[in-house]
């Protein structure tokens, strides 16, 4: 079983088929974790509308875009719904497929924090006060943000870390079967090792291997919504304005910033960026170099000298892992 795998209990009239569909997807090698949450939402919707609509109409109505829903969220939801409808049709049903949303725009520009802004964010996290609804968030955010910036991990990878994934003696973090089913080892600097060690001592009197590194007060994994809300509060207290929905800074932009800052540091030290690109790609857990390049473009205003040197070296852009703040 995949660590932290989510397996919902379905209860609607299509419960057995939803369960069979989920098992089929995972048997084919798909993690289907976020998708499982969507299937659970679909199941609850089907149940709530059971006496009002035939189930085909319920399936199609669930796929309609909601007023407060982003295009990306809607696209993912309809993609999962279409896959489920196709599964039903392969097993004797005749369901009209929901209309697929328009292709998502790929023109998103990541927000790259300056070194001064990163320092301000860390300072604000260190002085964060407890919230009534989650007294532990202020204990977790300082080390969580340092981990994100010091490793370039995805936020979901960091919040899913267990104690056994962190080898403080060797200075290595193991990311187990993350996006695209990729597992990888991330070496970390001594300052981050020390920070994580202090964090574990603060969170646990007797830590166990299967304890979360960043636990909620119920010893569970944090939701993306909770972490993002805390991050927005930290940004505000750091004097960094938010551009509005879809414009950032997002928590994921720390990953972009890690890549750009690492590239900046290595270029100044005279490293061959062309040879290091595959290393960075592997470190970030990308399936190919082209995915890594997306993290390193669209920053000429902030790093013109760096980008010009990259163009001269290899015509492409790339970073590495050796950057972190104390």
> What is the per-residue DSSP string for 123-163?
HHHHTPPPPSS-TTHHHHHHHHHHHHHHH---HHHHHT-BG
Mean of all residue pLDDT scores within the chain: 82
For 25-54, how does the pLDDT look when each residue is reduced to its tens digit (9 = 90+)? 988 888 788 899 999 999 999 998 877 778
End-to-end CA distance of the chain: 37
Cα 86 from chain centroid (whole Å): 28
221 bridge partner residues: 215
| Residue 285 confidence (pLDDT) above 90 | no
Q: For position 110, what pLDDT does the model report?
A: 80
Scanning the chain, the segments in alpha helix (DSSP H) are 15-27, 34-48, 55-62, 71-90, 115-126, 137-151, 155-159, 190-203, 224-237, 253-268, 273-284, 289-293, 304-313
162 bridge partner residues: 212
Which of 154, 158, 153 shows the shortest CA–CA distance to 141? 158
Q: For position 169, what pLDDT does the model report?
A: 92
Lowest mean pLDDT among 103-107, 248-252, 309-313: 309-313
| Residue 320 confidence (pLDDT) above 50 | no
Which tokens hold the place of 153? Answer: 């991990």
| Residue 180 confidence (pLDDT) above 80 | no
The span from the CA of 184 to the CA of 283, in Å, is: 7
Instruction: List C-alpha distances in Å: 224 to 51, 127, 157, 227, 229.
Output: 34, 22, 11, 5, 9
Q: For position 173, what pLDDT does the model report?
A: 93
Lowest mean pLDDT among 14-18, 63-67, 209-213: 63-67
| Residue 306 confidence (pLDDT) above 70 | no
Q: For position 24, what pLDDT does the model report?
A: 93
Lowest mean pLDDT among 109-113, 257-261, 290-294: 290-294
Confidence of residue 297 (pLDDT cuts 50, 70, 90): low
Which of 271, 312, 305, 310 shows the shortest CA–CA distance to 292? 310
Share of the chain above pLDDT 70, in %: 77
| Residue 197 confidence (pLDDT) above 80 | yes
More confident residue, 194 or 325: 194
Confidence of residue 273 (pLDDT cuts 50, 70, 90): low
Q: For position 90, what pLDDT does the model report?
A: 94
For 73-97, how does the pLDDT look when each residue is reduced to its tens digit (9 = 90+)? 888 899 999 999 999 999 999 999 9
For 163-174, how does the pLDDT look when each residue is reduced to its tens digit (9 = 90+)? 999 999 999 999
Q: For position 286, what pLDDT does the model report?
A: 73
- Collapsing DSSP to helix, strand or coil, 62 comes out as helix
For 108-150, how does the pLDDT look when each residue is reduced to its tens digit (9 = 90+)? 678 889 999 999 999 999 998 766 456 789 999 999 999 999 9
pTM comes to 0.66
Q: For position 302, what pLDDT does the model report?
A: 47
Confidence of residue 317 (pLDDT cuts 50, 70, 90): very low
Helices 34-48, 71-90: axis angle to 10 degrees equals: 80
């Amino acid at each position: 079983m995949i660590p932290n795998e989510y397996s919902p209990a379905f209860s609607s009239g299509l419960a057995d088929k939803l369960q069979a569909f989920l098992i089929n997807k995972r048997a084919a090698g798909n993690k289907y974790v976020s998708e499982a949450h969507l299937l659970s939402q679909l199941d609850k919707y089907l149940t709530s509308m059971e006496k009002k609509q035939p189930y085909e109409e319920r399936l199609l109505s669930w796929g309609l875009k909601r007023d407060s829903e982003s295009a990306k969220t809607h696209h993912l939801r309809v993609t999962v719904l279409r896959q489920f409808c196709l599964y039903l049709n392969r097993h004797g049903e005749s369901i009209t497929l929901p209309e697929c949303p328009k292709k998502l725009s790929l023109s998103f520009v990541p927000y790259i924090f300056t070194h001064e802004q990163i320092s301000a964010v860390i300072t604000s996290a260190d002085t964060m006060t407890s919230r009534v609804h989650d007294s532990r968030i202020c204990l977790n955010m300082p080390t969580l943000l340092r981990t994100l910036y010091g490793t370039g991990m995805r936020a979901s990878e960091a919040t899913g870390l267990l104690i056994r994934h962190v080898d403080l003696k060797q200075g290595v973090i193991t990311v187990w079967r993350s996006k695209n089913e990729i597992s990888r080892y991330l070496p970390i600097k001594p300052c981050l090792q020390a920070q994580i060690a202090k964090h574990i001592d603060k969170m646990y009197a007797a830590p166990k291997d299967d304890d979360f590194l960043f636990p909620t007060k119920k010893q569970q994994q944090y939701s993306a919504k909770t972490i993002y809300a805390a991050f927005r509060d930290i940004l505000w207290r750091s004097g960094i304005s938010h551009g509005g929905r879809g414009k950032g800074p997002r928590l994921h932009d720390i990953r972009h910033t890690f890549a750009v800052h690492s590239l900046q540091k290595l270029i100044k030290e005279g490293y061959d960026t062309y040879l290091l690109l595959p290393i960075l790609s592997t470190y970030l857990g990308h399936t190919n170099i082209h995915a890594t390049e997306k993290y390193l473009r669209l920053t000429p205003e902030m790093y013109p000298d760096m980008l010009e040197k990259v163009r001269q070296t290899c015509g492409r852009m790339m970073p590495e892992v050796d950057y972190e703040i104390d």
